[in-house]
Structure 1
Amino acid sequence: MHGIKRTRLTPQAAEAKKLKEQGKIEAYLALEQDVLGRKRRKEYTTEFLDQTTKLLDLNPEFYTIWNFRRNILLGLFPSLSPEEVVSHLTTDLRLTTSYLLVHPKVYWIWNHRKWCLESVPSGPGETVKWKEEFWKGELKLVEKMLDADSRNFHAWDYRRYVLSSLPTQRPLSDELKYTQSKIESNFSNFSAWHCRTKTLLAIWEKEGTGEEEIRRAKDEEFELVTQALWTDPNDQSGWLYHRWLIGSAPPLEVLQREIKNIQDLYEAEPDSKWCINALAHYTLLLSRNQTTNDEDQIRLKEEARRLYQRLEEVDGDRKERYRDMAERCL
């Protein structure tokens, strides 16, 4: 790093460092061999649970050890009281929290956390309270994780899981507001845009929303995504959401309006590959509209072909793909 003076190790110090690292490797391999041996022998005791903790501390991506840990717990649970089971699960939730702070995108840690929540004892009285407290804590945790990295798709996926599992369901409108806040703080948040599509579809399905109401809702979404496209036309996230809003069979006036808007952006950003790509795709879509006459279809296809040829120049790494797309326009 700049500004930091490098120090050269003496031969003796270099050798000492090498031996220390070699010692760590040997200790890790010995621990791994010990734990895997116990796994093969199906030794499911509290002592061996501690051994899995030591190994996971060193390598939390070792999914085989997570499986072994769950088998140990499942072997212990039948002889434990509900309170003791909850105590073990709480310990593992704390353990995974500490790992996620350092490794927020390791699937196996999130997966073990789900297992813990789904293993909370069922029944009346105190267990109901336990479940409610666990799920409330999960929502707070995942929101902190997304505050730290709003584009962590593992956290977004886990958030959807938590919301679907809450004992008392939150209004879908709250989730819509949440995704908007994340999008407005960073338009390049693909996961937030994706979550927004899922939330809107869920709202429309739940409320039995009619086509006209959906169209009005989409018009508002077009306004939101247009801000993103003009802010950073070279980011893919907004363009993918825009294409989702357009769909495969959009109303003619909507398609024409959006093509006009993108043409305005293209004039301002003539080298934006995503802008050109969208314009070519929507122009072809317009040529296939049932109300388009034969002469206009030919003109629109030729226009789309020219746009794909332009993409060959702008995005040379994918020119063969664009050449193929241009040929399909004929």
Structure 2
Amino acid sequence: MDEEDNTTYVPYSKRPEWSDIEPIPQYDESLPRLIHINYDKEYTDAMDCFRAIVKKKEISERALELTEFLINYNPAHYYIWKYRQELLLKLNCDLKKELVNMEENTYSWMKSYQIWHHRQVLVDNLNDPVDEMETINVVLEMDSKNYHAWAYRQWLMTRFNLFDKSELDYIDDFLLEDIRNNSAWNQRMFYYNNRPSILLDAEAENEINYAIEKIKILPNNKCPWTYLKGIIELNEKTLLDYPDIEELCTQLKDDKSCIFPLSMYYDISLMKYKKNPTKESYENLLKILKELEDRDFRRVNYWNHKRNQLKFFNKQNDKSFD
């Protein structure tokens, strides 16, 4: 998509090839308006012509060229992207060429949802992932937490079953560079949650050890703690099935600058309590909750909710320890 040369620019409404079009303005100038938006004259003129071709449902090369001009002016205008997609498909255009031509724009507008959705529509109709993973790699090199790029990557993997084990190495590179990269942690969980094959016990053990090692590097990082729970749930087991996790929490829970090991220690203690409720274990749970409230004072109501849940469990099971 090349930008217009403004030095030789002629408004669409003044071009001979558009003489059959009656532009439709956005507003009726005879009526009062609360706000007046000062669009560029070129953009206003092009949009007036665009409304006219939409009204007549025109499918043509000139309409396609008009959408290109408008997208360069406003890459977030979702309806123009939608109309361009319809034109490309109905005119039997070369969709691979469209992908190549818009590559520079993708790098310039890589945080625009519309451009990623446009690529998705093209690739979906091509029924071929072509070189899209490489394009995503370039974008993630520039912005490793680009939500739209990661979401598009996940769509590609699911659509074309691209669950190669090399994806784990790719993710690991991001985490070695930035252990707090929540997008990379999410991608790792996505990989195991969505690939066709089930998670084997050996794989789960490896991933749990992987998360534990990352936790040891930076305990006050929520991502690996959440990942740990996700892998255990996916493997249809509980925290009690992994003694190493309780040991880890025991080692780290006294660090008052961090709530995650103490929070998981509470989860483990609660599971044990529900299997064998005793007054001593109940009092220990209350003590942990009080410490969590003190450390995580912004979520006092959440920890109080946990306390009420605990008391409700006791009531249901005729345990009176208060």
Asked if Structure 1 and Structure 2 have the same fold, meaning a TM-score greater than 0.5 normalized by the shorter chain, the answer is yes
Contact 1:281 1:304 in 2 (8 A): no
Distance 1:177 1:62 in 2: 37
Q: Is 1:59 aligned with 2:74?
A: yes
Distance 1:25 1:283 in 2: 64
Measured against aligned partners, the alpha-carbon deviations of 1:103-158 in whole angstroms (never above 9, x if no partner) come to: 323222111111112333x8xxxxxxxx5xxx342121112122222222322222
Contact 1:176 1:200 in 2 (8 A): no
Aligned to 2:284: 303
Contact 1:176 1:196 in 2 (8 A): yes
Q: 1:91 Cα shift?
A: 4.0
Aligned to 1:317: 298
Distance 1:191 1:137 in 2: 22
Distance 1:60 1:222, change over 3 A: same
Contact 1:306 1:326 in 2 (8 A): no
Measured against aligned partners, the alpha-carbon deviations of 1:253-286 in whole angstroms (never above 9, x if no partner) come to: 41x431221121123x222133333222332233
Aligned to 1:224: 210
Q: Is 1:197 aligned with 2:205?
A: no
Q: 1:65 Cα shift?
A: 0.8
**Which of 245, 250, 266 is equivalent to 1:263?**
250
Aligned to 1:178: 170
Aligned to 2:309: 328
Q: Which structure has greater helix proportion?
A: 1
Distance 1:236 1:111 in 2: 30
Distance 1:301 1:62 in 2: 58
Give the AA of the match of 1:140. Answer: E
Q: 1:235 Cα shift?
A: 2.3
Distance 1:119 1:299, change over 3 A: same
Distance 2:117 2:283 in 1: 50
Distance 1:321 1:100, change over 3 A: same
SS of equivalent residue, structure 1 residue 329 = helix
Unpaired runs of 5+ in structure 1? 1-21, 78-84, 123-130
Distance 2:277 2:178 in 1: 43
Distance 2:155 2:73 in 1: 28
Aligned to 1:9: none
Unpaired runs of 5+ in structure 2? 1-36, 312-322
TM-score of the pair, normalised by structure 2: 0.74
Aligned to 1:294: 277
Q: 1:56 Cα shift?
A: 1.0
Q: 1:93 Cα shift?
A: 1.2
Is 94-103 or 221-230 further displaced after alignment?
Answer: 94-103
Aligned to 2:238: 250
Aligned to 1:116: 122
Q: 1:101 Cα shift?
A: 1.3
Give the AA of the match of 1:250. Answer: T
Aligned to 2:4: none
The total of aligned residue pairs comes to: 273
Give the AA of the match of 1:303. Answer: N
Aligned to 2:62: 47
Distance 2:171 2:272 in 1: 31
Distance 1:299 1:32 in 2: 73
Distance 1:71 1:227, change over 3 A: same
Distance 1:143 1:74, change over 3 A: same
Distance 1:193 1:163 in 2: 16
SS of equivalent residue, structure 2 residue 91 = helix
Q: 1:177 Cα shift?
A: 2.3
Distance 1:257 1:302, change over 3 A: farther
Q: 1:198 Cα shift?
A: 3.3
Contact 1:263 1:279 in 2 (8 A): yes
Aligned to 2:29: none
SS of equivalent residue, structure 2 residue 165 = helix
Distance 1:109 1:285, change over 3 A: farther
Q: 1:240 Cα shift?
A: 1.0
Contact 2:269 2:285 in 1 (8 A): yes
Is 319-328 or 301-310 further displaced after alignment?
Answer: 301-310
Contact 1:287 1:301 in 2 (8 A): yes
Contact 2:240 2:271 in 1 (8 A): no
Measured against aligned partners, the alpha-carbon deviations of 1:152-194 in whole angstroms (never above 9, x if no partner) come to: 232222223333455xx66632222222232222222223222
Q: 1:63 Cα shift?
A: 0.8
The percentage of counterpart residues that share the same residue type is: 21
Q: Is 1:153 aligned with 2:147?
A: yes
Distance 1:95 1:201 in 2: 34
Aligned residue runs from structure 1 range 86-125, under 5 A:
86=94, 89-120=95-126
TM-score of the pair, normalised by structure 1: 0.72
Distance 1:37 1:48 in 2: 10
